[in-house]
Amino acid sequence: MTSEDRVKELKRKILRAAYTAQEGHIASAFSVLDILYVLYAHVMKVSPSFVKHQARDCLILSKGHASLALYAVLEEIGFLMRGELNTFGKGRLGGHPCEELVPGVEASTGSLGHGLPIAVGQAMALLKGQLESRVFCIIGDGEMNEGSIWESLLLAGHRRLTNLTVILDYNRSNDRALRLPISGRGASDILCNMGWRVSSIDGHDHSDISRAFTRVIDNRPHFVVANTVKGKGISEMEKDPHAWHHRAPTAEELALFLEELK
């Protein structure tokens, strides 16, 4: 089974979990699922056997409302029990991930703008301890409106946090975000002037994702603009992402979506 096939299977699991719970941000989860899967399965140094080991790589999902994607991947690689995703909304797997309850979750997130400051602090601590571990942080395009994001970007660039990679889930789902210079030369110039290395990828192409996160010798943190589609893989969600920002499918919709993902 290819990694793309595995992601399709994870999407089916997410749909069933959201249907059972009758809640969840499915479209947002589908936007970042490919990135999370490739990072955990092929890039990051992380394992359920050393959940809090200081040598592990860390990932913070700042846009915590996409928690279904994170839970699905954590279950896939063994942090969660098989089938635990089906308890979404009823047990420890809440709408926003909780560090104290869910193994593999590095920070409790959900209030936008909080994840990146935590990631910057982790990266600074690792460098001070002369550890080679990496820190990854996924932020949303709407989250770029938060002052805490820009303050964190400034600090990370100034401190030359070479072990920090920020991934912008640029799914163009936020009207305010479309007015920000977060794509094209404008963003590159701004972030480069702040001390960042900037690249752009197809956030659903697994080869592109893997190449982007290959460690390179550089004295700058890395900012990756991941061009994504909210609701990727489900035509109805792709066409009307706002309608699917926070709703669960009916039984009829679930059957149609599962069929589309075959």
How do the pLDDT tens digits run along the chain, 262 residues long? 899 999 999 999 999 999 999 999 999 999 999 999 999 999 999 999 887 788 899 999 999 999 999 999 999 999 999 999 999 999 899 999 999 999 999 999 988 999 999 999 999 999 999 999 999 999 998 888 889 999 999 999 999 999 999 999 999 876 555 455 555 556 678 899 999 999 999 999 999 999 999 888 889 999 999 999 999 999 999 999 989 989 999 999 999 999 999 8
| CATH number of 22's domain | 3.40.50.970
Q: Could you report the per-residue pLDDT of 129-140, keeping only the tens digit for each? A: 999 999 999 999
Nearest-5° angle of CA 232, CA 234, CA 240? 85
Q: Over 20-81, what HEC string results?
A: HHCCCCHHHHHHHHHHHHHHHHHHCCCCHHHCCCCCCCEEEECCHHHHHHHHHHHHHCCCCC
Which residue range(s) make up the domain with 19?
3-260
pTM of this structure = 0.94
User: Under a CB-based contact definition with an 8 Å cutoff, are residues 58 and 116 in contact?
Assistant: no
pLDDT of the residue at 178:
47
Q: What backbone torsions phi and psi does residue 138 show, to the nearest 5 degrees? A: -100, 120
Best CA proximity match to 194, nearest among 171, 164, 214: 164
How many domains does the chain fold into? Answer: 1
Q: Could you report the per-residue pLDDT of 93-117, keeping only the tens digit for each? A: 999 999 999 999 999 998 899 999 9
